[in-house]
Amino acid sequence: MWEIIRYQLSHLGDFSGRDVRRTFWVYLLFLVIVQILIGIVISAPMMGNIIGSVTQGVQSGMSEAEIQAATYASLSNSLEPMAVYSMVLRLVTAALLLASFVRRLHDAGFSGWLALIPVGTLLYSQIIGYLSLDHMQAMMDEAIASGNPQFVVAISSETAASGLIRWAGVLFVLIFGIMKSQPGPNRYGEEPARP
């Protein structure tokens, strides 16, 4: 397994040749695990601030409504940094996976240019997400000021379209990632050795 990860990391800029399914999936699993761990490390201090505001509110005898307002305010302050960190993390993960996915496409007999489809969907959803941050922040602030916690539903419905587009790209990677290798040599090179 470590040989596969080492191979993939040493071939980040190599868009030629072929990668078998196992090589691709082991590397993808590694990237997903690393992304989750980094996400936890990044979000832990922010979640700690939210939990701290709730704890402080309980200890100081605040009412449930005041604690809820303090929690929403803390969440509002964390929205933009968490969104930006998530976006950067997704883009870095996609960049680390790109060459491997191109080689995987080659192994199944497809053009590596097809990798532009999931890259495009990811970039589109990230740009839309970033451009809508101010709007989401305003919705959250308005909901906090009015005491109406329905901002979660409103934000979810507004970001659903860009999320679906991003998931379409993920589905594309999954479908092409599971395709069988072409036996023997193809126009992208010799059949790779099975690890």
DSSP symbols for 156-188: HHHHHHHHHHHHHHHHHHHHHHSSPPPSS-BTT
Q: pLDDT 10s digit of each residue in the chain, 195 long?
A: 889 899 999 999 999 999 999 999 999 999 999 999 998 998 888 888 778 877 887 888 888 777 777 777 777 777 778 888 888 999 999 999 999 999 999 999 999 999 999 999 999 888 888 888 777 777 777 766 776 666 556 666 666 666 788 888 999 999 999 999 888 889 998 888 766
| Torsion of Cα atoms, 95 then 103 then 116 then 10, to 10° | 20
* Other Cβ atoms closer than 10 A to 105: 24
What's the structural domain count of the chain? 1
State the pLDDT at residue 114.
Answer: 95
Is residue 94 included in any domain, yes or no?
Answer: yes
Is residue 183 included in any domain, yes or no?
Answer: no
State the pLDDT at residue 164.
Answer: 80
Is residue 123 included in any domain, yes or no?
Answer: yes
State the pLDDT at residue 77.
Answer: 74
Cβ contact 186:20 at 8 Å: no
Element (H, E) at 95: helix 64-107
Domain boundaries, position 49? 2-177
Cβ contact 20:107 at 8 Å: yes
Whole-model pTM?
Answer: 0.80
Is residue 17 included in any domain, yes or no?
Answer: yes
Query: Which residue reads 């969440």 in tokens?
Result: 75
